Amino acid sequence: MSGKEGAGGFRKRKHDNFPHGQRREEKENVNPSSPLMTSFKSFQLELDTRHDKYERLVKLSRDITIESKRTIFLLHRYISAPSGEEVLNESEVKLDAVRRKIKQVAQELIGEDMYQFHRAISPGLQEYIEAVSFQYFIKTRSLISIEEINKQLIFTAEDREETTNMTSNSQGKQPHTWSLRVTPVDYLLGVADLTGELMRLCISSVGNGDIDTPFELSQFLRQIYDGFTFIGNTGPYEVSKKLYTLKQSLAKVENACYTLKVRGSEIPKHMLADVFSTKTELIDQEEGLS
């Protein structure tokens, strides 16, 4: 910093040397109907439209995330509820409401490159994948495929809803179908988050006296972990970052299975969940997670 600027001062810009009146005269002399000004006004309109669309998608993604989390919380009651079928039916109603939100996202993206708005909708899609795959596992004890998820996200004109957020990009007649394709990365990230819910399901199952589910979950999580290790560090950064959390969930479930196998006969069933919770806290402390 030179001495002319002074301590803590700001550097003087060149145009500050022009008289204020001269700058005002130059501004008044600008022709608003010139081709240059017309081009910049069109750029401004395009950027404002794109920004408004991005903000609408962020709000929709937030709503999708919230409703998907509520569905996951509901599905955790499946083990302890008197009628598990009622829980599954209620979860299906909630997921239908989430899909209606996703349909609004698909309508917003008509004629657009989805990847330009991917960061706005990715968190909501990942949470939806986690919820729908959790429900699918409870029903079938298997992992839902990305093709099955995309098949559920095709919307026809019969169930079309009028939305107030339709923009000028969807001019003219609307197509008869809307669809939103989940990207492979979002699918993998949603499945990685699913493992944490399965770990919680394992602890809840033991607390309710179910000693078969933990062994079933252990094999299932091991298969998912083996699949992720094939990707390794060659995949996207977000996927490799989730691998550590997945490994922790697998370790906790395998530890529960070990406790059941070795000490299950000597520990009362109503105390098994407390034993697993204590061991889980110890594992987190050893790994520096708490």
Residue 154 phi/psi, 5° resolution? -110, 120
Determine the Cα angle at 150 with ends 67 and 144, to 5°.
80
pLDDT at 256: 80
pLDDT at 13: 58
Residue 164 CB neighbour total at 10 angstroms: 4
Residue 25 phi/psi, 5° resolution? -65, -40
Please name which of 235, 190, 198 lies closest in space to residue 214, comparing C-alpha atoms.
Answer: 198
Please name which of 276, 114, 288 lies closest in space to residue 202, comparing C-alpha atoms.
Answer: 276
pLDDT, tens only, 76-96: 988 887 888 899 999 999 999
Q: Residue 92, annotated ligand binder?
A: no
pLDDT, tens only, 22-61: 555 555 666 777 777 778 888 888 888 889 999 999 999 9
pLDDT at 36: 76
pLDDT at 143: 94
Q: Where are the domains of the chain?
A: 44-158+177-182, 184-289
pLDDT at 58: 95
Strand 177-179 to strand 154-156: parallel, antiparallel, or no bridges (unpaired)?
Answer: antiparallel
Tokens representing 182 are 């989940």
pTM (2 decimals)?
0.76
pLDDT at 220: 94
pLDDT at 163: 43
CATH 1.20.58.190 applies to domain 44-158+177-182: yes
End-to-end Cα distance, the chain: 46
**CATH class of domain segment(s) 184-289:** mainly alpha
pLDDT at 229: 86
Q: Which residues of the chain have pLDDT under 50?
A: 160-172, 282-290
The amino acid at 67:
E
Q: Residue 130, annotated ligand binder?
A: yes
Q: Which residue has the tokens 């957020």?
A: 165
- Are both 44-158+177-182 and 184-289 of the same fold? yes
